[in-house]
Amino acid sequence: DAGVTQSPTHLIKTRGQQVTLRCSPISGHKSVSWYQQVLGQGPQFIFQYYEKEERGRGNFPDRFSARQFPNYSSELNVNALLLGDSALYLCASRMGGQGPRENSPLHFGNGTRLTVT
């Protein structure tokens, strides 16, 4: 079975531009979440979507937005890029949704490396 797939793998953008990152979850997984990982740090939570609805948002500005499609794939959009947005963006999927009854592990993709110049 294919794991979580992300595209593109690498991206170079200029300050002020907009970027769209894509993610396809593991087949059968309905929950997708996005994380930002700056070099040398652990990933930080950006969004979670479950059944096409936003269920959680981390401490990121409104320049960051996302959506989930009927086939459970997801896009992350970042507007007005800043140099500080340079990072590895990770997508993760999980079988179920959230909360104490959901104890299945998160499965991560290989990420999209975004460089803003």
Partner 1 sequence: KQEVTQIPAALSVPEGENLVLNCSFTDSAIYNLQWFRQDPGKGLTSLLLIQSSQREQTSGRLNASLDKSSGRSTLYIAASQPGDSATYLCAVDTGGYNKLIFGAGTRLAVHP
Residue 42, burial from CB neighbour count under 10 angstroms (0-12, 13-18, 19+): exposed
Number of residues located near partner 1, criterion CB under 8 A: 33
Residue 105, interface with partner 1 (CB under 8 A)? yes
Residue 28, interface with partner 1 (CB under 8 A)? no
Residue 26, interface with partner 1 (CB under 8 A)? no
Residue 109, interface with partner 1 (CB under 8 A)? yes
Site for partner 1 in 72-91 (CB under 8 A): 88, 90
Question: Cβ(80)–Cβ(13) under 8 Å?
Answer: no
Site for partner 1 in 38-67 (CB under 8 A): 40-45, 48, 55-58
With vertex at residue 26, the alpha carbon angle to CA 22 and CA 28, rounded to the nearest 5 degrees, is: 120
Among all chains, which residue has been given the structure tokens 């794939």?
Answer: 73
